[in-house]
């Protein structure tokens, strides 16, 4: 990896609390960060709006990439199909498989790797974490390992995929972010795009549990029934 490559990093930044922490971790590690957010047909754009605002305030290079044209190919998910009932359960429960978007991370990582090559950048971050393993195949260690193997040979210059929280819990991610002084009001986690977070979907439940484990209150506002 050249000196120029080692100074730059592409970060897949959804606007959620995991990628928010990863973004700041990359910045703390001294990288010139290029953040990528993707609109792939998800049910709402609240996270993406947060991501744009955060990057603007930080002065971080940011691109919001519209790939909604693929929605008809991968739209059979509760995250992309508003006609489906959103599961209100913990991530470990079987019905949360309805929130899997087929091949999503492989698609997003492929685009991010291409962008990294285009920038002469040898590093791409994304926010998979240990709590995702039970439900999401493209957040598991073996997926990251094999994508790294492909990213090393797919172009003339290798790109490393780095998932710093791959074996960590949501609470550990939160603890590290709090130690960095991060304000998690600058993130959005709820699978629904309403004015207030629902507190009941798997994503909200995991987030609230992480805050409870740290003994603090989540700064996001929730519907009264969700907390």
- The CA distances from residue 112 to 11, 13, 23, 185, 222, in Å, are 8, 11, 14, 26, 33
Q: Which residue has the tokens 């592409």?
A: 10
Binding residue numbers: 13-23, 190, 198, 201, 204
Binding-site residues for ATP sit at: 13-23
Dihedral, 179, 180, 183, 186 alpha carbons, nearest 10: -130
Alpha-carbon distance values, 196 to 20, 93, 105, 210 (Å): 19, 24, 27, 19
What residues are designated binding site for Zn(2+)?
Answer: 190, 198, 201, 204
Secondary element (H or E) of residue 207: helix 202-214
Question: Could you give the 3-state DSSP secondary structure of residue 176?
Answer: helix
């Amino acid at each position: 990896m050249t000196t120029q490559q080692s100074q730059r990093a592409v970060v897949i930044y959804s606007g959620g609390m995991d990628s928010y922490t990863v973004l700041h971790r990359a910045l703390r590690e001294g990288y010139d960060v290029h953040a990528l957010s993707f609109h792939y047909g998800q049910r709402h754009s609240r996270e993406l709006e947060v991501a744009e605002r955060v990057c603007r305030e930080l002065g971080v290079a940011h691109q919001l990439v519209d790939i909604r044209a693929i929605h008809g190919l991968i739209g059979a998910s509760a995250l992309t199909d508003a006609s489906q009932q959103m599961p209100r359960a913990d991530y470990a429960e079987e019905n949360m498989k309805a929130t899997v978007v087929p091949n999503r991370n492989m698609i997003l990582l492929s685009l991010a790797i291409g962008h990294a090559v285009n920038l002469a950048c040898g590093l791409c971050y994304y926010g998979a974490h240990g709590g995702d393993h039970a439900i999401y195949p493209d957040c598991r260690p073996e997926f990251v390992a094999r994508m790294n193997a492909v990213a090393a040979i797919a172009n003339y210059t290798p790109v490393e995929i780095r998932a710093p929280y791959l074996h960590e819990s949501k609470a550990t991610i939160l603890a590290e972010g709090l130690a960095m002084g991060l304000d998690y009001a600058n993130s959005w986690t709820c699978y629904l795009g309403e004015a207030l977070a629902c507190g009941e979907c798997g994503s909200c439940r995991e987030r609230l549990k992480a805050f409870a484990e740290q003994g603090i209150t989540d700064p996001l506002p929730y519907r009264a029934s969700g907390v």
